Every structure is written in structure tokens, then in C-alpha cells.
Amino acid sequence: MSKTDNQVKQLLAEDVKIPQHVAIIMDGNGRWAQLRGKKRVVGHKSGVESVRTSVATAVKYNVKALTLFAFSSENWQRPQTEVNVLMDLFMFVLTREVKRLHKNGIKFKVIGDLSKFSSKLQKMIKASEELTAENSGMVLSIAANYGGRWDITHAAKVLAKKVERQEISADEITEASLNEQTSLANLPELDLLIRTGGDYRISNFLLWQAAYAELYFTDVLWPDFNEIEFTKAITMFDQRERRFGQTGEQVTNKK
């Protein structure tokens, strides 16, 4: 074990505050492959191992919910061959991994506009969700054909239909009622949003849910993201002061 490994492990051995809900923008697969003179899709395949490690690490640290950005509503604009590989990979991973997730008591969910996927993939997603629905362990949500703007628009539409049917009045719409219609509504608030791959943007991920999340950006490319890198993010989270609009003094006095 390297010196940093030991340092990170030691840090976590103390009373570290663990985020209840972590989301990750898994970016950098293509560059990881290109740096090795390989095709971009090789990076996507290698990224699957990082997904496995991240799930295991989140479970180990008792994180309650892990949400991973796998495919954005904008990623359809990539070359068709790359989109095809990503879809095949998604199906392959579903077939291979969901049983293992189930054995570990993990509840598996997919968020996003699933209507754009093939009916075969939609069926596989539904079966995987049903298989793990009663599990009481960590909730793993995969964001696929997901966009933060889509999520908010969809929630607004659900409420608009309720108004149309005269089930509620427009004045009854509140932050809480809109929140209820967004993805991940039944989970703990998003505490920590990680982005790998060196860019400093949200790329239309959890716009509504990230309102007060701590943001952590790392240059590490997704296939290189491992337990140590995840631990660094959690350590950083522990050191942040979350003020939620209050002053530093107010927050300190509450402790």
C-alpha cells in the first residue's frame, strides 16, 4: 500500500461524516482510451470496473444512495457506433451484474426518459427494478437518457395534468409538491456530487437535486477512479462547512 493509501485509510478511520447520497458524473472514458492509443469504446468498457468498485465502496462506507450518470439526453448526438456500443454495454452489464446487486441487498433503479430505449432494454430495466424492489440496502440509481431539464419539465407536466383534472389548484403547487414528482424524490437529499474527467460543469445532470450538494471535481479519468479516489472525495466532503444560507457562526454554534 502506498503512503497516500495509508493516509486516506487513516483519515477515514476517524469520525468522518459520510454523505448519505452521492452522485457521480462518470466522465473521461474516451480520453482514457485515446491516451492509450485505443478506441473510445475501450474506455467505456474499462469504466464498468470503476462502476463496480464505486458501488462496493459506497456500500462499505454505508452511503444510503448512489446515483451514477451513465448516458445523458445529449449523448444521442455521438457517432451512432459509439451509441450502439453504449447500449450493448448497458444490456450486458444489466444481465451480468443485477443478480450480484440483488444478492448484496441493493435496490436498483434507472432514472431518465426510458421511452427512447429499445423495448428489449426497457423490459430488462423493468425486470431488474422489480427483482430488487424489496431490497433494503443501498439504492443504486443509474441515470440513462437523463437530463436535469427533462426531469424538471416532466415534474411540471405531471402537476399541470393534476391541475387540468382539477385535482389540485395551481396555487397548491409548492417546492415540495414539485420535488415529489422529480427523480430520486424518495431518497435522502443529494449531499455530494462528484465529476471525474477534469471538466467543471454539470452537463445537465441533477439540476434540481444538486441545489445544496457539495461539488467535487477531479482530473482523474473515470476508468482510473477507484476506492482511494472515492475516499478522497468523502474526506473532502467531511471538511466542507455546509451553511445552507446561514452564517458560519450559526452553523458552528449548532454543533
Residues of this chain that interact with ligand IPE (CB under 6 A) are 25-31, 69-72, 75, 86, 197, 199, 201, 203, 222
Q: Is 159 left (phi over 0), alpha (psi -120 to 50) or beta?
A: alpha
Q: Which phi and psi angles does 210 have, rounded to 5°? A: -90, 10
Minimum CB separation of residue 86 from Mg ion in Å reads 12
Which sign does the torsion angle of CA 220, 236, 50, 20 carry? negative
The 10 Å Cβ neighbour count of residue 164 is: 8
Minimum CB separation of residue 31 from ligand IPE in Å reads 3
Q: Quick check: 189 and 212 in contact, CB under 8 A?
A: yes
Q: What angle do CA 122, 128, 130 make, to 5 degrees?
A: 100
Q: Which of 75, 135, 179, 226 is catalytic?
A: 75
Q: Quick check: 108 and 132 in contact, CB under 8 A?
A: yes
Give catalytic status of residue 27 as yes or no: yes
* 71, interface contact from Mg ion, ligand IPE, none, CB < 5-8 Å by kind: ligand IPE
* 117, interface contact from ligand IPE, Mg ion, none, CB < 5-8 Å by kind: none
Q: Which of 5, 27, 135, 219 is catalytic?
A: 27
Minimum CB separation of residue 197 from ligand IPE in Å reads 5
Contacts of 169 (CB under 8 A, 6+ apart): 163
* 29, interface contact from ligand IPE, Mg ion, none, CB < 5-8 Å by kind: ligand IPE
Residue nearest to ligand IPE (CB): 30
* 128, interface contact from ligand IPE, Mg ion, none, CB < 5-8 Å by kind: none
Residues labelled as active-site residues: 27, 75
